[in-house]
């Protein structure tokens, strides 16, 4: 699949927006607080809002170019859009909702109907009306309708925000299936850090219309300078790892991280699978040497890479663990007493119960 290139500026009253990023196959998450400009960027890509200046290109096809006067109408952009509320037609069956965009846009059926229905688990719902569906089922229909419009790009504007936590967890695997099976570039708006940690390949961080950073998800989560936007309490690192073994007797899993071994609560893990784990900075403690007689079973030798202030009482510490970055949040007093400094070798302490399964995901296999 191709690449979406976005380089735009815009103005709405006092609000000025500027963004410059690329979205390849997989999910590019636009992340930031409410009012950051995330949805405005989606609307610019879709042709629903016109940028003041810039250029938007999808797989080499120019959708917008202020210098050349190009501004394709939304119907000509080959974009699927999934909104927060699904926006299904209440008078049409699930089957007719799914095929509406393809019929209305007179688009060729390049993606088989049955394939999409199977991907999203909708076979048993085709003859039902939207009013009889749960919130999660309605969003699955909305996802299917967008896919069946044969899009070159898929835009999702907080598609899970109207669902409760249980329904979100139900639908997340379907979003992952779309990401992994279709290989369509997906631009996904969210202010939920767990969703972004689980789904995103690339993250674009926005604040008040300004793009603060863009890059691979693990790189962005590992940056200490983005703490205020990512959230101090929930800030943490993304770690790519492999499950080596699961011990059913104790319910724990042995995880390999670039040669270092973690022991985590084993429910939901399977030996041999590749996983992504989000380890929160507040769940990592530091010691100057390995400790004995502790219930904390994970003791990981690391090197300190970076230190940043996190308010009057705390500091954030970036740690090198193999080829990856771990984060710890400790008090300034502890940092001073331990003489924490760049380059120093320390031991990171992590409880086995600190990494929750809900923020771990199966990593997509290499293509």
pLDDT tens digits, 95-113 = 999 988 666 555 666 778 8
pLDDT in the model for residue 127: 92
- Residue 192: closest CA among 223, 159, 222: 159
Average pLDDT, the chain: 88
Min mean pLDDT across 124-128, 191-195, 247-251, 341-345 is at 191-195
Token duo for residue 133: 């569906």
Residue 31: alpha-carbon gap to chain centroid: 8
The whole-number pLDDT of residue 354 equals: 79
Given the structure tokens 């936007």, which residue do they identify?
Answer: 229
Instruction: For 4-221, give the CATH class.
Output: alpha beta
Query: By CB neighbour count within 10 A (0-12 exposed, 13-18 middle, 19+ buried), where does 293 fall?
Result: exposed
**pLDDT tens readout for residues 133-163:** 988 889 999 999 998 888 899 999 999 888 8
Q: For residue 38, which of 21, 52, 55, 26 has the smallest C-alpha distance?
A: 21
Q: Which residue shows structure tokens 């749960």?
A: 134
> Fold for domain 236-355?
OB fold (Dihydrolipoamide Acetyltransferase, E2P) (2.40.50)
Q: Which two tokens mark 152?
A: 């070159």
Model pLDDT, residue 246: 93
- Predicted pLDDT at 109: 60
Query: Across residues 22-33, what is the average pLDDT?
Result: 93
CB 304 within 8 A of CB 346: yes
Measure the CA–CA gap between 131 and 266, rounded to whole angstroms: 39
Which tops the pLDDT comparison, 367 or 279? Answer: 279
| Whole-angstrom distance, CA of residue 24 vs CA of residue 259 | 30
Average pLDDT of 23-51? 93
**Residue with tokens 């199966």, as numbered in its chain:** 362
pLDDT for 229: 76
Instruction: Evaluate if residue 332 carries a pLDDT over 90.
Output: yes
**pLDDT per residue over 209-259, tens digit each?**
999 999 999 999 989 988 777 776 778 899 999 999 999 999 999 999 999
Least confident of 60-64, 138-142, 362-366: 362-366
pLDDT at 104: 59
Least confident range of 150-154, 202-206, 250-254, 354-358:
354-358
Half-sphere exposure of 95 (CA within 13 A, CB side): 6
Spell out the residues 6+ positions from residue 74 whose beta carbon is closer than 8 angstroms to its own: 46, 47, 48
Question: Tens of pLDDT along 65-97?
Answer: 999 999 999 989 999 999 887 788 899 999 999
Instruction: Judge if pTM exceeds 0.95.
Output: no
pLDDT at res. 107: 60
Kindly report which listed range (42-46, 122-126, 161-165, 210-214) carries the lowest average pLDDT score: 161-165
Decide: 63 and 35 in contact? Cβ < 8 Å. no
Q: Is the pLDDT of residue 315 over 60?
A: yes
Q: What is the pLDDT of residue 1?
A: 57
CA–CA gap between residue 264 and residue 301 (Å, rounded): 17
> 284-287 and 61-65: which strand pairing?
unpaired
Domain chopping of the chain, boundaries: 4-221, 236-355
Question: CA nearest 279: which of 318, 323, 228, 315?
Answer: 318
Tokens linked to 359: 């923020």
User: In the predicted model, what is the mean pLDDT of residues 280-292?
Assistant: 93
Length of the chain (residues): 367
The Cα 111–Cα 182 span in angstroms is 10
Pair of tokens at residue 340 = 């924490």
Q: What is the pLDDT of residue 365?
A: 41
The one-character DSSP state at 320 is: E
For residue 60, is pLDDT > 60?
yes
């Amino acid at each position: 699949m191709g690449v979406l290139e976005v380089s735009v500026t815009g103005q709405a009253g006092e609000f000025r927006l500027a963004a410059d990023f690329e979205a390849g196959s997989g999910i590019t998450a636009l992340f930031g607080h409410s009012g950051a400009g995330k949805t405005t960027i989606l609307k610019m890509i879709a042709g629903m809002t016109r940028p003041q200046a810039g250029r938007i290109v999808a797989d080499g096809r120019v959708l917008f170019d202020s210098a050349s006067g190009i501004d394709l109408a939304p119907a000509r952009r080959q974009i699927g859009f999934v909104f927060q509320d699904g926006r299904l037609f209440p008078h049409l069956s699930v089957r007719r909702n799914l095929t509406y965009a393809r019929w209305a846009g007179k688009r060729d059926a390049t993606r088989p109907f049955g394939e999409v229905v199977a991907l999203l688990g909708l076979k048993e719902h085709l003859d039902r009306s939207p009013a009889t569906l749960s919130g999660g089922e309605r969003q699955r229909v909305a996802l299917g309708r967008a896919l069946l419009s044969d899009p070159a790009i898929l835009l999702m504007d907080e598609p899970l925000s109207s669902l409760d936590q249980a329904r979100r967890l139900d639908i997340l695997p379907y979003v992952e299936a779309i990401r992994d099976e279709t290989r369509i570039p997906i631009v996904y708006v969210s202010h939920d850090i767990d969703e972004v940690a689980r789904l995103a390949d690339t993250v674009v961080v926005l604040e008040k219309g300004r793009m603060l950073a863009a890059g691979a998800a693990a790189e962005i989560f590992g940056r200490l300078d983005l703490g205020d936007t990512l959230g101090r309490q929930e800030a943490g690192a993304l770690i790519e790892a492999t499950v080596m073994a699961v011990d059913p007797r104790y319910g724990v899993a042995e995880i390999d991280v670039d040669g270092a071994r973690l022991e985590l609560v084993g429910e939901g893990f399977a030996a041999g699978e590749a996983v992504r784990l989000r380890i929160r900075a507040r769940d990592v403690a530091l010691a100057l040497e390995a400790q004995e007689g502790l219930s904390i079973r994970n003791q990981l030798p690391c090197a300190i890479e970076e230190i940043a202030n996190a308010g009057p009482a705390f500091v954030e510490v970036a740690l090198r663990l193999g080829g990856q970055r771990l984060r710890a949040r400790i008090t300034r007093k502890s940092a001073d007493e331990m003489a924490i400094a760049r380059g120093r070798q320390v031991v990171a302490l992590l409880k086995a119960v600190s990494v929750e399964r809900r923020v771990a995901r199966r990593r997509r296999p290499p293509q």
